[in-house]
């Protein structure tokens, strides 16, 4: 599986190779392909047709003595009208081409970004733990944008210039078959040079995109941790690191510019133009073609200038686009052991939890949890206590499959959590952690985050339960006040109270409290604790805390040390039987 959650979609891209991936997006819009090809072909056809008409007009003027002045002027007028009409048609069809390619690029960017974002939402936490946030942002934003630019102007210009490349050879054949020799030789040498150019661009483009990803990763990291940077007076050092990343991006772009500077098709165009002029002059001297053929033929050669000039840019854009497609695919094709298990168990959770010889580690080198076994009855409150780093939080993350156990099993209502439908399981479990994340949305939207539909009365009731209503009403717009990311416009205690209100509103069958009252003062804690006990009534509750009052209140206590359960029982039993618990309890008292 590439994602643990897969949202139903009418389109799934071909992810086998970057080329197949891009083509699967392109072929979705056949009418736009037709518009692009018709516009590009007509543009090149009428551009060459212009020189055909100019040549006819020039020939008529040269033969004025033979044809008569009036006849010659009539022919010139006809050619002028033909030029005006053909170029008007050309401009309309050119608009169709540009409109189609622009729409193409925008749709590809939209579809690719939606697909990538959907996939990132479905990736497991194991994946997200390994990925720098800035690198992911670079791929969702800049790399996907490069796919748009690859289509327009990239592929748009490549298709257009490719047809411009062919038209002179086709039109030259109508002048005289011998006049196709130089254009054909130029086309062959041009294609060969482009193949070598694109191959050289591949590696450079990959390095350009990779260096930008590293730059973006450091930028996101330093801004996310700006308080730590300022608190430790590390602004200068962080700037120096950023400066190094900027220099790396600059150097990679200079390498690409150096490669583009040595662009052989410019030389080939000059050689071909001189050779074509010499060839047509030779044929005129030997009366093989009329002198007007020189004007027409060299006009056709002028058309070669468009593919030569734009291909330097467009092929570089193509290489960047494919490099970005490869970076996007590296995310889309990342595998995960977690799966949505759509056909899994879907039923109301009663709340029985059982750990059976559970072991888990964030990497293969060391386990955080080792051979842990204990049980929780429906409606029971179990406190998990231990020193920092003992594995308490990790245990709770195995319950709702944020992570999957590596050995043993976690059962909910006697069913392995892996056999549950993941959405059904997680929708009935609520976690309130010490590090509270709030979205840049209104207070009401944050509280009701787990609900698709809700009423304002329900939100207010949940806030009152969490002792949050009073301070919310003091905000500028009350429940409609938009708070900053991570709730930075609120105090720590206020953030936690909103998180508790969010848990209340979700009405979970299993409630996990991970040091959820750590940022709340003692007076407020008493009120919130009463609300927690009220909402926890009848629900299975896993409690991680250093508050002695909460530990004493638990029905059962599990003592964890270095990832292992070393004792369990009631508070009184553990004080009597467990030295580890007495040490922990004494530490908390101090």
pLDDT tens, residue by residue, 176-196: 999 999 999 999 999 999 888
Q: 487 to each of 437, 491, 497, 498, 522, how far by Cα in Å? A: 7, 8, 11, 10, 21
The mean per-residue pLDDT over the stretch 246-257 comes to: 87
Q: 383 to each of 131, 296, 516, how far by Cα in Å? A: 32, 90, 13
pLDDT tens, residue by residue, 193-212: 988 888 888 888 888 888 88
Q: Is the pLDDT of residue 281 over 90?
A: yes
Q: Which fold has domain 18-332?
A: ABC transporter transmembrane region fold (1.20.1560)
- Delimit the domains of the chain by residue range: 18-332, 350-428+510-519+539-590, 435-507
- Confidence class of residue 359 from pLDDT cuts 50, 70 and 90? very high
pLDDT of residue 485: 63
pLDDT tens, residue by residue, 535-576: 677 789 998 877 777 787 788 999 998 889 999 988 888 888
Residues counted in the chain: 590
* Percent of the chain residues topping a pLDDT of 70: 93
The mean per-residue pLDDT over the stretch 329-333 comes to: 87
> Within 10 A of 408 (CB to CB), how many other CB atoms are there?
17
What's domain 435-507's architecture? Answer: 3-Layer(aba) Sandwich (3.40)
Closest to 183 in 3D by CA, of 298, 71, 83: 298
The mean per-residue pLDDT over the stretch 109-120 comes to: 88
The mean per-residue pLDDT over the stretch 395-399 comes to: 90
Residues 6 or more apart from 120 whose CB is under 8 A from it? 136, 140, 331
User: What global pTM score does this model have?
Assistant: 0.76
The mean per-residue pLDDT over the stretch 2-24 comes to: 74
* Torsional class of 273: left (φ above 0), alpha (ψ -120 to 50), beta (otherwise): alpha
Q: In what order do the strands lie in the sheet with 407-412?
A: 369-376, 353-360, 407-412, 415-416
pLDDT of residue 225: 74
More confident residue, 324 or 217: 324
Contact assessment for residue 90 and residue 43, using Cβ atoms and an 8 Å cutoff: yes
- Confidence class of residue 85 from pLDDT cuts 50, 70 and 90? very high
More confident residue, 441 or 128: 441
Spatial distance between the Cα atoms of 366 and 111, rounded to a whole number of angstroms: 40
Instruction: Tell me if 18-332 shares its fold with 350-428+510-519+539-590.
Output: no
The mean per-residue pLDDT over the stretch 124-136 comes to: 79
The mean per-residue pLDDT over the stretch 333-356 comes to: 85
The mean per-residue pLDDT over the stretch 337-362 comes to: 87
Spatial distance between the Cα atoms of 265 and 190, rounded to a whole number of angstroms: 6
Match domain 350-428+510-519+539-590 to its CATH number in 3.40.50.970, 3.30.365.10, 3.40.50.300, 3.40.640.10.
3.40.50.300
CA 216 to chain centroid, in Å, comes to 13
> Within 10 A of 410 (CB to CB), how many other CB atoms are there?
22
Mean pLDDT for the chain overall: 85
């Amino acid at each position: 599986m590439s994602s643990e959650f897969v949202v139903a979609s009418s389109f799934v891209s071909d992810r086998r190779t970057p080329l197949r991936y891009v083509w699967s997006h392109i072929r979705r819009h056949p009418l736009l392909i037709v518009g692009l090809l018709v516009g590009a072909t007509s543009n090149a056809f009428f551009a060459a047709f212009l020189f055909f008409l100019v040549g006819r007009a020039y020939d008529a003027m040269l033969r004025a003595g033979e044809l008569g002045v009036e006849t010659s002027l009539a022919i010139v007028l006809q050619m002028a009208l033909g030029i005006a009409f053909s170029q008007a048609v050309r401009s309309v069809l050119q608009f169709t081409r540009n409109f189609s390619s622009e729409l193409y690029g925008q749709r590809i960017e939209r579809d690719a970004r939606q697909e990538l974002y959907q996939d990132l939402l479905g990736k497991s936490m194991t994946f997200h733990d390994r990925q720098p946030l800035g690198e992911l942002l670079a791929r969702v934003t800049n790399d996907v944008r490069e796919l748009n630019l690859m289509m327009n102007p990239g592929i748009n210009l490549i298709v257009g210039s490719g047809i411009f490349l062919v038209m002179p050879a086709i039109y030259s054949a109508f002048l005289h078959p011998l006049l196709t020799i130089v254009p054909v030789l130029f086309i062959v040498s041009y294609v060969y040079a482009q193949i070598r150019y694109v191959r050289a661009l591949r590696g450079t483009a990959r390095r350009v995109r990779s260096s930008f990803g590293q730059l973006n990763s450091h930028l996101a990291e330093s801004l996310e941790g700006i308080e730590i940077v300022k608190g430790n007076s590390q602004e200068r050092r962080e700037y120096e690191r950023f400066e190094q990343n900027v220099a790396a991006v600059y150097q990679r772009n200079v390498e690409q510019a150096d490669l583009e500077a040595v662009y052989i098709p410019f030389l080939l165009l000059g050689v071909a133009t001189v050779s074509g002029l010499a060839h047509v002059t030779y044929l005129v001297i030997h009366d093989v073609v009329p002198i007007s053929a020189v004007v027409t033929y060299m006009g056709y050669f002028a058309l070669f200038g468009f593919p030569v000039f734009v291909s330097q840019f467009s092929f570089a854009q193509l290489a960047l686009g494919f490099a970005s497609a490869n970076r996007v695919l590296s995310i889309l094709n990342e595998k995960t052991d977690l799966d949505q298990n759509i056909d899994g168990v879907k039923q109301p959770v009663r709340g029985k939890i059982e750990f059976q010889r559970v072991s888990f580690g964030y990497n293969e080198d060391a386990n955080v949890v080792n051979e842990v076994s204990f049980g929780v009855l429906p409606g029971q409150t179990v406190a998990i206590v231990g020193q920092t780093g003992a594995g308490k939080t990790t245990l709770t993350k195995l319950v709702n499959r944020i992570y999957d156990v590596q050995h043993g099993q976690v059962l909910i209502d006697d069913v392995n959590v892996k056999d549950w439908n993941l959405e059904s399981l997680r929708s009935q479990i609520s976690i309130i952690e010490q590090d509270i994340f709030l979205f840049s949305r209104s207070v009401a939207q944050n509280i009701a985050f787990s609900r698709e539909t809700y009423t304002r009365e329900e939100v207010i009731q949940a806030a009152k339960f969490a002792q949050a209503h009073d301070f919310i009403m003091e905000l500028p717009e009350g429940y409609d006040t938009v708070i900053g990311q991570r709730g930075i416009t609120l105090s720590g205690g206020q953030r936690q109270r909103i998180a508790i209100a969010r848990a209340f509103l979700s009405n979970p069958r299993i409630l996990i409290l991970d040091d959820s009252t750590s940022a709340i003062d003692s007076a407020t804690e008493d009120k919130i604790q009463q609300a927690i006990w009220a909402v926890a009534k009848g629900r299975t509750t896993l409690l991680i805390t250093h508050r002695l009052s909460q530990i004493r209140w638990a029905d059962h206590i599990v003592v964890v040390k270095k990832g292992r359960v070393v004792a369990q029982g009631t508070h009184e039993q553990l004080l009597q039987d467990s030295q580890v618990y007495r040490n922990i309890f004494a530490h908390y008292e101090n």
